[in-house]
Structure 1
Amino acid sequence: MADKPNIILIMTDQQRYDSIAALGFPYASTPNLDALAKNGVTFTDCHITAPSCVPSRASLFTGYYPHTTGVLSNGQAWQRTWVEQLRDAGYRCVNVGKMHTIPYNSDSGFHERYVVENKDRFMEGRWYFDEWDKALAAHGLVKQQRELYRKRDDYRERLGAFDWELPEELHSDAFVANMAKWWVNTYPPTEPLFLQVGLPGPHPPYDPPARYSEAYLKRDDLPLPKPSKEELESLPTALKEKRIHDVEVDHDSVVWSLDPTAEQMQRLWSHYLGNVTLIDDKIGELLEALRERGYLDDAIVIFTSDHGECLGEHGLIQKWSMYEVVTRVPTIIWSTAGRFQGGREVNGLCQLFDLGPTILEYAGIQPPQSFEARSLRPALEGGDWTPRTHVFCEQAGDVTLTGTDFITGVRSDRWKLVHFKGSEEGQLFDLENDPKEIHNLWGDPAHAGKRQELLDVLRDWLIESNFRTRDVMVGAR
């Protein structure tokens, strides 16, 4: 066993926990991820720190909460990461695909970056031609994207679900995985290796090649959401405004509907799950390439996502809310050299950014004392690990979250509270008796004590965080 294992971090974008068969969703075809879960350790209660891409990733790759990094919504600049420490410790650090740093092509501690961003990222004034754009251009092609989808007669009816009609190997997820395989197969073997592979899907547009969605389209048992009129009427005003905004303004080629048909929902879920199955296929191919080149002789492989997706639950699409389908992400860690026992589940609360100090410790690096993230190594190795009593989530108003300036969430094993800045409204859910988060108890006098208790937890967390990270926030690292 080497002093420094190879570390492979595979991240998808906007993938729900319940999109993998081994994690309790039998409708999905995910044999490679199922095998990873069977042989690895699954953290069943891992929650993000921000319900959108950029702040979630900035938090993960720095070890601090969004209010500490100052990155609270998409589009904000960030580039410094703990990957620098891996590089300084002798790791060859390579990123293929999506990291969502801004600027997109900052080195962020990597020796090499092969950047692939969102599928229509150049919209909204963010012009950037990435490796995928260049590959398509070399084939005389332009990626399927919003400005082209808008020309379709059925654009508003598709809810963001389209068939990928260009060559399959040029689909964003296939392209990123194939490029990662190309690097593994052609670069002279180098160890220790830190390889971060950022797959763009199943983030919308929900656009797998048709062969991946066809099997799901034929199913009549998919658990399609059917939110009741009562639930929709009980949503906080900010989320009601988000529903209307997502109908009026298309983000990521998605035009939402306030009352989607069963056919529309079947297509939406089939394309989303089809994209997950495509990703599963490509992960299997990448792991095989790593195995053939010897990188898996002693490696730690991590699979996760930056946040989940509503897919019509609660009448909402995409993220930017704090329901479980958004905040809870699949997190599987596998050791190929027996560094810890696999085939297990760890059920305590943890947060996505806890992966940072976990990676650093396995690389032989002491995480900074100021980190707000906590290593999961004791949990992996069966040691003395105390789950978090609460997990926290933050989001500033964003392109589609126009009805509030800031939302903050806190969740314990049983309870969840969501606070909307400047509003008398909020959300309080009893997850034990209401796991689908349908019955909002915020205004129920019988639960006023629990509401105040969790508001106090939020206050104390922010005070402690600001005190703990005071040097970080003034740039003293």
Structure 2
Amino acid sequence: MRKPNILFIMADQLSALALPFHGNPVVKAPHLQALAERSAVFDNAYCNFPLCAPARFSLLAGQYATRIGAFDNACEFQAATPTLPYYLARQGYKTILGGKMHFVGPDQKHGFAERLTTDIYPADFGWVADWNEGEFSFYSPGHNLSTVDESGPCFRSLQLDYDEEVEAKAVQRLYDLAREDEQPFFMCISYTHPHPPYSIPPEYLDRYKPEEINLPIVGDMPMHERDKLSQWVQYSHGLDKQGATEEQIRRARHTYYAMVSYIDDKVGRLLDTLQRAGFADNTIVVFTTDHGDMLGERGMWFKRVFFDWSAKVPLIVFDPRAHKPRRIAEPVSHVDLLPTLVQYATGETAPAWVEPIDGRSLVPLVATGDPTGEAEAFSEYTAEGVTGPCCMLRRGKYKYVYTHGHPDLLFDMEADPNELVDIAQQQPQVLAELKARVLSRWDPGAITQQVLASQARRKFINSLPEASQPVWDYQASTDDTRRFVRRGSARVIKVKKRWPPLAGTANGKENGA
């Protein structure tokens, strides 16, 4: 029996709460909706870091970001880190990456045997955070009110250029895998929508009427009513003194929803290609994203905080060999995906890890849905805008938030899903228990020193003359020596490239030829 193929699809900055199967009545995502209806859907899945690069590194390593030195968007992902594609390659998988993964450093594959495209973002230290600047000092040039205000239609953009290429390369590679019978494979396809800027072709905007766009559930609030982490982030986004107007909010959310529909079409095309290539019956499909987007909730935009719009992610797992749709309420996180997919590949419940991992396999939950009662999700933030390590622990119905040097927060997510009532003072025993769980394995003092040392090293290298700056960006290339007719019979090659094969042909040659 063949091992299952794995198609791993990622979006970028797609909040779980923006999707119809997580309760948003406006967003149109029929392909994802249909996939969810036949899959295991995790209702409380979280990223391990609400920022692009550390979230992705943590997912691939199955380890929390600070354990692998992923402190911000310009931290090197160490080449010696065992990753999901390395573990799957050991099981005979052909490992393929197409699209964004935001690898930083000279290793631009991290276990993927193939990269179909370059990355959309740089691989150097140019985006290093700087805690020495002090509190309320960082302002993001790419995430601010102008980004919200500029939302609307476009015919082409950098992100459209990128995602169209990612889709084309992914579809082509799936057909090539079918024609060459290259199995098992692990293919990760990672798009950059609906990451801002919020812009999309008008035909996607036309799927929605402006008046039907729902406004945030929780409105804007004064800075003095916010927790310290929220104050830091609002300042860094330039939203501490002026927030978005209702018209700006509605237009930005309209565009974001249209971008989600665009990604939904991309997912539909991949799933259709799986079917046409003959892989659908033996391919596990996983859909998720790196983190979410606040999208105007609480007057906040983008990510970097632990509120659910920012930190909760969609997670769909479809196993065609055990077709049992179910909804799973138990908290999980991205570090669980490495052991989950390795178990699917090996059939082993406890394979030998090269080094300890922080996740646990979700295969039993996908198979039965029976809760374990001990599950939790842990997320960190140590990047720009803050001046000390911050983290979140979701355990059962409680969410605990730690902000270094400032008061803790505690929310009852069942009674208060909008996270408006801090019950830290009302539930001191719960607060103490969750804080103890965090601090028993996560040392904020030590992490602070590690972050500052890392920033100092990278700032030094980044300050060198341009000629001395490292260049690590991946350059994708195409080998055309076997794609089209070069030597030999044109007819034989054309027959070989036809899919599905014509009756009476085998291995690209006509019978009797």
Scaled to the shorter chain, the TM-score interval is 0.7 to 0.9
User: How many matched pairs?
Assistant: 424
Structure 1 residue 225, shift from structure 2 partner:
4.4
Partner of 1:298: 282
Q: Which runs of 5+ in 1 are unaligned?
A: 127-145, 249-255, 467-477
Match 2:104 to one of 81, 102, 105: 102
Q: Secondary structure at the match of 2:281?
A: coil
Native 8 Å contact 1:48 1:307 kept in 2 = yes
Structure 1 residue 170, shift from structure 2 partner:
4.5
Structure 1 residue 155, shift from structure 2 partner:
8.5
Q: Secondary structure at the match of 1:392?
A: strand
CA gap 1:377/1:367 in 2 versus in 1, 3 angstroms: farther
Structure 1 residue 226, shift from structure 2 partner:
4.6
Q: Distance in 2 between matches of 1:87 and 1:459?
A: 35
Report the residue type matching 1:93 in the other structure.
T
Of 185-194 and 317-326, the range deviating more from structure 2: 185-194
Match 1:261 to one of 236, 239, 245: 245
TM-score (norm 2): 0.76
Structure 1 residue 23, shift from structure 2 partner:
2.6
Partner of 1:286: 270
Native 8 Å contact 2:62 2:335 kept in 1 = yes
TM-score (norm 1): 0.81
Q: Distance in 1 between matches of 2:147 and 2:109?
A: 40
Partner of 1:325: 309
Correspondence list, 1:115-134, <5 A: 115-118=117-120, 121=122, 125=126
Partner of 2:367: 381
Partner of 1:73: 72
Do residues 245 (structure 1) and 236 (structure 2) align?
yes
Report the residue type matching 2:295 in the other structure.
L
CA gap 1:5/1:173 in 2 versus in 1, 3 angstroms: same
Structure 1 residue 335, shift from structure 2 partner:
1.6
Partner of 1:215: 207
Dislocated runs of 4+, deviation >6 Å? none
Partner of 1:439: 421
Do residues 392 (structure 1) and 378 (structure 2) align?
yes
CA gap 1:83/1:299 in 2 versus in 1, 3 angstroms: same
Correspondence list, 1:40-79, <5 A: 40-78=39-77, 79=79
CA gap 1:175/1:257 in 2 versus in 1, 3 angstroms: farther
Structure 1 residue 300, shift from structure 2 partner:
0.4
Q: Distance in 1 between matches of 2:352 and 2:49?
A: 22
Match 2:297 to one of 313, 318, 321: 313
Q: Distance in 1 between matches of 2:339 and 2:157?
A: 40
CA gap 1:116/1:226 in 2 versus in 1, 3 angstroms: farther
Correspondence list, 1:16-35, <5 A: 16-35=15-34
Correspondence list, 1:127-206, <5 A: 156=146, 158-159=148-149, 161-166=151-156, 170-187=160-177, 188-206=180-198
Of 237-246 and 213-222, the range deviating more from structure 2: 213-222
Q: Secondary structure at the match of 1:215?
A: coil
Q: Distance in 2 between matches of 1:124 and 1:267?
A: 34
Q: Which runs of 5+ in 2 are unaligned?
A: 128-139, 447-513
Partner of 2:455: none
| 1:335-361 deviation per Cα after TM superposition (whole angstroms, max 9, x unaligned) | 22x2x2322112211112211111111
Structure 1 residue 161, shift from structure 2 partner:
2.0
Do residues 453 (structure 1) and 444 (structure 2) align?
no
CA gap 1:322/1:383 in 2 versus in 1, 3 angstroms: closer
Structure 1 residue 121, shift from structure 2 partner:
5.0
Partner of 2:401: 418
Q: Secondary structure at the match of 2:192?
A: strand
Match 2:390 to one of 407, 410, 421: 407
CA gap 1:380/1:225 in 2 versus in 1, 3 angstroms: closer
- Please tell me whether Structure 1 or Structure 2 has the larger radius of gyration of its CA atoms: 2
Structure 1 residue 123, shift from structure 2 partner:
11
CA gap 1:169/1:288 in 2 versus in 1, 3 angstroms: farther
Match 2:260 to one of 276, 281, 288: 276
CA gap 1:460/1:208 in 2 versus in 1, 3 angstroms: same
Report the residue type matching 2:89 in the other structure.
R
Report the residue type matching 2:334 in the other structure.
L
Structure 1 residue 387, shift from structure 2 partner:
4.7
CA gap 1:11/1:387 in 2 versus in 1, 3 angstroms: farther
Q: Secondary structure at the match of 2:89?
A: helix
Q: Distance in 1 between matches of 2:123 and 2:369?
A: 47
Indicate the percent of aligned positions where both proteins have the same amino acid.
27
Report the residue type matching 2:282 in the other structure.
D
Q: Distance in 1 between matches of 2:267 and 2:432?
A: 45
Partner of 2:358: 372
CA gap 1:169/1:117 in 2 versus in 1, 3 angstroms: closer
Q: Distance in 2 between matches of 1:197 and 1:61?
A: 13
